[in-house]
């Protein structure tokens, strides 16, 4: 940390700027800047924990807030899904630090300040921005390269790819997480069915007889799109989870203020309104109240996750548990 004091100071100052600019100079260039920035929040959160050890709450929160700001800067008009996911990862690191900050113990004034600062942050990044331009253009470019030989009709592949992105954007703009998940599931199913149908021997022979170039183009394009869409589905889930985590963190700071003033956590979240929160956020996954468990020295706050099932705040992919939780003290 001592060796990185100057770079960290520079990064912290940079996060106070209103815009983030990292141009993609060539098509072959990797997103080195965004990827390398993943190291900065780890160092900032590490320093925040050391500062907490010295009871420097203000310094710790300054580091964590810088991480939240950095995530939102990276996520400004993301060029690609990778850049979006880097922003998501940075914000997740900061949110984990927030739980430790609350567990350390905050005065009512400190908790209210943290809540105000977090609420004032720009809106969460959106995967739709990355899909609409960066990923769409990148995929069209890849399809054009793949379909450049004489055996392909490039217009068929480009139109089919562009239509798929239009359908994904429409799904992302639907109100309600369940509606978005249903739309993506329908899109995935349709693409898989088309890809499987295109590979059936009799169908292939019939298509080749009528229009060989078009048949090959449709078959290859559908197969590639069927492989691509699941990744975008997971990215949409990450978008939802990031927004939920921000809701949980803000409720967590409100709980910290309540505890500081009343010497304990409430049994129900409703008592936080209107003194600490103007309104309680709903669980974005199911449009129902967030789950909350008060404990003697902490609390568990969580969303039921994409499966819509209450797993007690657990997240375990092997057991299909995907709750989004914020636990104090952190596990």
Q: Is residue 261 in a domain?
A: no
Please tell me whether residues 152 and 226 are part of one structural domain: yes
Q: Are residues 6 and 99 in the same domain?
A: yes
Contact present, 62 and 29 (Cβ < 8 Å): no
Q: How far apart are the first and last CA of the chain?
A: 25
For Cα atoms 113, 117, 118, give the angle at the middle one, nearest 5 degrees.
115
Say which residue, 47 or 35, is predicted with more confidence: 47
Q: What is the DSSP code (8-state) at residue 269?
A: G
Q: Is the peptide bond before 329 cis (omega within 30 degrees of 0)?
A: yes
Contact between 277 and 247 under an 8 Å Cβ cutoff? The reply is no
Q: What pLDDT, on a 0 to 100 scale, did the predictor assign at position 204?
A: 54
- Residue 114 and residue 253 in contact, taking contact as beta carbons nearer than 8 Å: yes
In sequence order, the β-bridge partners of residue 146 are none
Which residues, 6+ apart, have CB-to-CB distance to 131 below 8 Å?
81, 165, 168, 169, 172, 232, 235
Give mean pLDDT, residues 48-56.
96
Backbone φ, ψ for residue 147 (5° rounding): -100, 20
- Mean pLDDT (the chain) is 87
> What integer pLDDT is reported at residue 252 of this predicted model?
98
Q: What SS3 state is found at 274?
A: coil
Of 149-163, 256-270, 287-301, the poorest mean pLDDT is in 149-163
- Residue 267 within any structural domain of the chain: no
Q: Are 40 and 8 in contact (CB under 8 A)?
A: yes
Q: What is the pLDDT of residue 157?
A: 87
pLDDT at 64: 98
Asked if 227 and 137 sit in the same domain, the reply is yes
List residues bridging with 301 in a β-sheet. Answer: 292, 326
Same domain flag for 76 and 148 = no
160, 217: one domain: yes
Residues 98 and 135 in one domain: no
77 lies in the same domain as 147: no
Specify if 11 maps to a domain: yes
pLDDT digits (tens, 9 = 90+) for 182-230: 999 999 898 888 777 766 655 555 555 555 677 777 777 888 888 888 8
Q: What ranges make up the beta strands (E) of the chain?
A: 282-283, 288-289, 291-295, 298-303, 315-316, 321-322, 324-328
Assigned domain for 301 exists: no
Q: Which of 248, 252, 257, 312 is nearest to 283 (CA)?
A: 248
Does 4 share its domain with 99? Answer: yes
Within 10 angstroms of residue 18's Cβ, the number of other Cβ atoms is 7
Q: Report pLDDT for 26.
A: 62
Query: Which SS3 state, helix, strand or coil, does residue 110 take?
Result: helix
Q: Is the pLDDT of residue 126 over 90?
A: no
- Please give the pLDDT value at position 84: 87
**Distance separating alpha carbons of residues 25 and 46, to the nearest angstrom:** 33
Domain boundary among 55, 90, 105: 105
Instruction: Evaluate if residue 154 carries a pLDDT over 90.
Output: no
Residue with the larger pLDDT of the pair 151 and 309: 309
Q: Which domain holds residue 90?
A: 1-105
303 phi and psi, to 5 degrees? -105, 155
- In this structure, the answer to whether residues 94 and 11 fall within a common structural domain is yes
Count Cβ atoms below 10 Å from residue 193 Cβ, excluding itself.
Answer: 12
- 293 forms bridges with which residues in the sheet? 300
Is the sign of the CA dihedral 259, 261, 267, 270 positive or negative? negative
Sequence-ordered alpha helix ranges (H) in 32-79:
32-36, 39-53, 57-74
- Say yes or no: 100 and 147 in one domain: no
pLDDT value at 28 more than 80: no
Task: Report the pLDDT value the prediction gives residue 296, as an integer from 0 to 100.
Answer: 86
Q: How confident is the model at residue 115 (pLDDT cuts 50, 70, 90)?
A: very high
Neighbours of 313 (CB within 10 A): 21
What integer pLDDT is reported at residue 39 of this predicted model? Answer: 85
How far apart are the C-alpha atoms of 102 and 61, rounded to whole Å? 10
Average pLDDT on 86-106 reads 95
Average pLDDT of the residues in 296-309: 93
Q: How many domains does the chain have?
A: 2
192 within domain boundaries? yes
Confidence class for position 78, pLDDT limits 50, 70, 90 = low
If one compares 28 and 234, the residue with the highest pLDDT of the two is 234
Q: Which of 46-60, 110-124, 145-159, 161-175 has the lowest mean pLDDT?
A: 145-159
Least reliable range by pLDDT among 14-28, 184-198, 209-223, 286-300:
209-223
């Amino acid at each position: 940390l001592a060796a990185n004091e100057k770079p960290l100071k520079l990064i912290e100052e940079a996060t106070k700027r209103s815009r983030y600019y990292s141009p993609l100079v060539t098509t072959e260039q990797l997103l080195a800047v965004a990827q390398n920035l993943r190291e900065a929040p780890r160092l900032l959160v590490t320093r925040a924990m050391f500062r907490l050890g010295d009871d420097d709450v203000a310094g710790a929160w300054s580091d964590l807030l810088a991480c939240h700001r950095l995530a939102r800067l990276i996520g400004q008009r993301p060029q690609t899904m990778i850049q979006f996911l880097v922003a998501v990862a940075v914000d997740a690191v900061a949110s984990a630090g927030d739980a430790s900050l609350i567990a350390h113990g905050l005065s009512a004034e400190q908790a209210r300040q943290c809540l105000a600062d977090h609420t004032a942050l720009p809106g969460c990044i959106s995967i739709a921005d990355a899909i609409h331009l960066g990923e769409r253009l990148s995929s069209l470019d890849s399809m054009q390269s793949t379909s450049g030989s004489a055996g392909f009709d490039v217009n068929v592949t480009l139109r089919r790819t562009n239509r798929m992105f239009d359908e994904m954007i429409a799904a992302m703009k639907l109100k309600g997480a369940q509606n978005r998940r249903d739309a993506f599931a329908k899109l995935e199913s349709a693409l898989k069915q088309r890809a499987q149908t295109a590979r059936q021997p009799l169908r292939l022979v019939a298509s080749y007889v009528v229009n060989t170039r078009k048949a090959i183009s449709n078959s290859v394009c559908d197969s590639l799109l069927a492989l691509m869409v699941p990744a975008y589905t997971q990215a949409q889930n990450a978008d939802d989870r990031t927004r939920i985590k921000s809701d949980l963190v803000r409720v967590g700071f409100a709980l910290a203020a309540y505890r500081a003033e009343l010497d304990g956590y409430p049994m129900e979240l409703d008592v936080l309104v209107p003194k600490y929160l103007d309104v309680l956020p709903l669980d974005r996954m199911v449009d129902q109240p967030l789950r909350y468990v008060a404990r003697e020295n902490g609390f568990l706050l969580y969303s039921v996750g994409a499966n819509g099932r209450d797993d007690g705040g657990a997240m375990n992919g092997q057991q299909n548990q995907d709750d989004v939780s914020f636990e104090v003290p952190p596990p």
